[in-house]
Amino acid sequence: MSVPIDGAVAGPGHDLDQPLLLKPLVYLEEGDEVTIGSPDGESYAVFPAEGAELVRMLADGITPREAAARHEEAHGESVDMPDLLSVLEDLGFVHDGTTALPPEPAPVRWQRLGKALFSRPAWACYALLVVLAVVEMARHPELAPHRSVLFFTSSYTAISLTIFLGQMPFLALHEGFHALAGRRLGLNSRFSVGRRLVYVVFETSLPGLIAVPRRQRYLPILAGMVADVLAMAGLTLVAAAVREPDGPQPLVGRVCLALAFAVGLRLLWQLFFYLRTDVYVLLTTVLGCNDLHAAAAAVLRDAVRRWTGRTRVDLSAFGPADLRVARWYAWLLPVGYALTLASFATVLLPSAYQMLDGLYGRLRGGGPVSGILDSATLVSLLVAQLLAVAVMAHRDRRARRLGAQQRA
C-alpha cells in the first residue's frame, strides 16, 4: 500500500508538512466501518469510513496537513491530525524509516492442499462419509455414541492411556483443518505444538483473518468442527466394518467407538459459548462483535445490581454492536452453565464414579492380582501427573518472579 518516500519522517512529533511512511496495510470495508491492519494480522483497528479515507491518503504519500485540508473540504469537519498520527504509531502502522520496508509476502505454502480439502468433490466425499456412518448407527444402535463405550476393556490403565493418547491425532486434525482452511484463503496460518504445564497442546494461529471479508471467515472458524465430525464418522465406520454379525464387538471396534465418543464430547463442548469456543467465535463474527462475552457478563452484572439497588456497571467501554447483542446473549450465559453441569452430571461424573468405584474395590482386594496391579498402575500415573503439574507450575511461577525482579 505504501512505498518509501524520500525525506519522510515518522514517529512522535511528526512534521505535518512531510509525508508519513506507513508499512503495507490491508483494508476491509464493512458498512460504515473499515478494518485496517497489517497483512500478518498482528495489529489492526476498526476506523470509521472517513478515518480510513485519511489513512489511505497518508499511505499514498499525501502530507498530513494536506490530507487534513482535503478531509475538511470534503466533509466540512476538521480533524485532529496529531492524534491520528499517534494512533497509527501506537498500532505499529508507521515505519521508523531506519530499516527497509517488509518484503512482499512469500507465496503461501499448502494453499493447494487447503483448496483441495474444501473443494466441492471433497465436500461430496465428506457428506457421503457422514451419511454412511449415520446409516450404520441406525442399523446397529450399539454403534451410536454412549458413555458405556468408554469401558472397552477391564483395564482402567488401558482405558485412560488410550483415550488420552488416542485423542492426540484427532486434536491435531482439528487444528490442521483450521490452518488449511486459512491457507486456502492465502493466509499464513500457523499450526504449532505447544505445552500447557505437562500437557501437549495443538494450536492454530490465523493472522490476517480479521481483514478477510466476513463470509470468508466462517469456514476457517468451523473447519475444526468439520474435522471432528469426519473423525467420528470414520471411527464409526471402522467399528462397523470389523463388527461380528453374531458376536461381540472386537477390541479394535470397541477402541474406535470409545475414541469417537470422546471426539463427540469435544463437539458438545463447542456449544458452551461461554468457553469462547469455535461456535462462539462464529457467532461473534456473524454478529460483528468484538468482545461479546465480556459485554454480556457486564450486562448481566448490571441487571443484578439494578435489581438489588446497587451501583450500576459502567458499560461505556463496550461497542454498540457488543451491547446490542449482549442484551439477549447475556441470558444465555446461565443456560450455558446449566448445560455444562448437566453434561458433567450425565456423562463425566457417572463414568468417573464407575472407574473410581472399581479402583476402590480392586485395591481393597476384591479382585484378581492383575486387577489390583492395573489399579495401582493407574493411581501411580495419576499421582505422578499431579506431581508433575505442581512442579511445572512452581517452576513457571518462579521464572516469572525472577523475570519481574530482573526487570525491576
Write the secondary structure of 109-147 as one string of H (helix), E (strand) and C (coil): CCHHHHHHHCCHHHHHHHHHHHHHHHHHHHHCHHHCCCH
The Cα 282–Cα 296 span in angstroms is 16
The Cα 49–Cα 315 span in angstroms is 25
Per-residue pLDDT of the chain (408 residues; tens, 9 = 90+): 333 333 334 444 567 888 888 888 878 777 677 888 776 656 777 788 888 888 888 888 888 888 888 888 888 888 888 888 888 888 888 877 656 555 555 677 889 999 999 999 999 999 999 999 999 999 999 999 998 898 888 888 888 889 888 999 999 999 999 999 999 988 888 777 766 555 566 778 887 787 788 888 899 999 999 999 999 999 999 999 999 887 788 999 999 999 999 999 889 888 777 777 888 888 888 888 878 888 988 998 888 888 888 888 888 888 888 889 988 888 888 877 787 788 778 877 787 777 777 777 776 765 676 666 766 776 676 677 667 667 766 777 787 777 767 665
Tell me the pTM.
0.75
The Cα 37–Cα 25 span in angstroms is 6
The Cα 139–Cα 235 span in angstroms is 16
The Cα 1–Cα 36 span in angstroms is 11
The Cα 283–Cα 248 span in angstroms is 43
Helix (H) or strand (E) holding 48: strand 44-48
Amino acid letter, residue 43: S
Helix (H) or strand (E) holding 320: helix 320-329
Helix (H) or strand (E) holding 258: helix 251-269
Which pLDDT value is given to residue 306? 87
The Cα 314–Cα 325 span in angstroms is 17
